Amino acid sequence: MSGISFGQYYPARSLLHRLDPRIKIILTLLYIICSFMCKNIISYALLLFSAIILVIIGRVPVRIILKGLKGVLFILLFTAVLNIFWTTGDSLLWQWKFISIYAEGLYAALFIMIRISVLIIGTGMLLTYTTTPIALTNAIEDLLSPLKKLHVPVHSFAMMMTIALRFIPTLSEECERIMTAQKARGADFSSGGLIQRAKALIPVLIPLFVSAFNRAGDLATAMECRCYNGGEGRTRMNVRHLRFVDFIPLIVIIAFGAGLITLNILGIGYTA
């Protein structure tokens, strides 16, 4: 339970940590788009290289990155296997009864694995590892603030997200406590079939929900006691101002995207 490390903030001093979170969100979106523009082996290599560069700039230990990837290892292998066995093409490499493997399948598997890993490393490095959750929600609120004109409750959404993030560790601790208490009463979470195990969770989930609702009620009261009445007229303690240097990464990523498009047009290397 305490092993939830995927996408958690890693405190360090680096350029990525200092970059304005609003810029980081835009960068992440552009980076995702870039990763889907890759079509040939050279562009995938460049993509992988860029992810490595991000890790180096962000000063997050490789051990933590690998731990994050471990969580999706199954998905990675599953998609890879699917691609290897189910992709057909012209160049047959190996055949045995009904199983046949084509070179296209191997490439497709390699590409999809690179893409998924890079997406996870990239979004992790640009956002979750290097930005505190609070800074992130503030940035989302800022970026979505034009929608306020359309009467979208942007501030409320941001506040909801902040609170939800704040309570993840609290609830996971609580969950562990309740599980221990029920184990002491002989509850068995680790044996039996799927249905039995799901049923065994009822004694954990009900108290967890009850206490979550109670907590929510208490929090609402505490917030009202401090005169919270929504986002109207609310100011921030730390206001971030964008400077010219903050835009440099945007220029870099646009150049990167342009490079990828050029590679696609030129059609150099193996194309999937």
Partner 1 sequence: MSDVRIEDLSYFHAKGTPYEIKALDEIALHIREGKITGIIGHTGSGKSTLVQMFNGILKPHSGRVLLAGEDIWKKPKDIRKVRFKVGLVMQYPEYQLFEETVYKDIAFGPKNMGLKDDEIDACVKEAAEFSDLSEELFDKSPFDLSGGQKRRVAIAGIIAMRPDILVLDEPAAGLDPRGRTAIFQNIVDYQKKSGRTVVIVSHSMEDMAKYCDDLVVMSEGKILLCGECREVFSHAEILESVGLDVPQATKLLLALKSRGFDVDCGALTVDEALEQIKKLYHN
Q: What are phi and psi of 137, to 5 degrees?
A: -70, -35
Say which residues have a Cβ less than 8 Å from residue 84's Cβ, sequence separation at least 6: 101, 105, 106, 108, 109
Please pick, from the candidates 59, 67, 155, 177, the single residue that binds partner 1 as defined by CB under 8 A.
177
Secondary structure (DSSP) of 64-129: HHHHHHHTTHHHHHHHHHHHHHH---S-EEEEETTEEEEHHHHHHHHHHHHHHHHHHHHHIIIIIT
Segment lying near partner 1 (by CB under 8 A), choices 66-74, 111-119, 175-183, 219-227: 175-183
Give the one residue of 181, 223, 248, 266 binding partner 1; rule: CB under 8 A: 181
DSSP 8-state assignment for residue 271: B
Task: List the one residue from 180, 196, 262, 271 that touches partner 1 (CB under 8 A).
Answer: 180
Bridge partners of 100, per DSSP, are 95
Examine residue 184 and tell whether it contacts partner 1 (CB under 8 A).
yes
Comparison of 2 and 229: residue with beta carbon closer to partner 1: 2
Residue list 25-84, contact with partner 1 (CB under 8 A): none
182 lines the binding site for partner 1 (CB under 8 A): yes
The region of 46-54, 112-120, 150-158, 179-187 touching partner 1 under the rule CB under 8 A is 179-187
Smaller CB distance to partner 1: residue 76 or 178?
178
The nearest distance, CB 164 to partner 1, in angstroms, is 21
- Toward partner 1, which CB reaches closer, 145 or 211? 211
CB of 197 to partner 1, least distance (A): 14
Neighbouring C-beta atoms of residue 125, cutoff 10 Å: 28
Exposure letters 131-160 (e unless 16+ CB within 10 A, then b): bebebbbbbbbbbeeeeeeeeeebbebbbe
Least distance (Å) between residue 54 CB and partner 1: 24
Minimum CB separation of residue 163 from partner 1 in Å reads 21
User: Between 117 and 182, whose beta carbon lies closer to partner 1?
Assistant: 182
Could you say whether residue 1 binds partner 1 (CB under 8 A)?
no
CA distances from 268 to 36, 44, 263, 272 (A): 17, 12, 6, 11
Report the alpha-carbon distance of residue 143 to residue 160 in Å, rounded: 16
Contact mark string toward partner 1, 193..232, x via CB under 8 A: ---------xxx-xx--xx---------------------
Residues in contact with partner 1, total (CB under 8 A)?
A: 20
**Neighbouring C-beta atoms of residue 271, cutoff 10 Å:** 13
Total Cβ atoms within 10 A of residue 126: 27
Q: Is 12 in the site for partner 1 (CB under 8 A)?
A: no
Q: Determine the interface stretch with partner 1 among 47-55, 101-109, 181-189, 244-252 (rule: CB under 8 A).
A: 181-189
> Which residues are bridge partners to 168 per DSSP?
none
CA 82/CA 86 separation, integer angstroms: 6
What's the closest the beta carbon of residue 117 comes to partner 1, in angstroms? 25
Cβ proximity of 175 and 209 under 8 Å: no
Q: Which residues bind partner 1 (CB under 8 A)?
A: 2, 174, 177-178, 180-188, 202-204, 206-207, 210-211
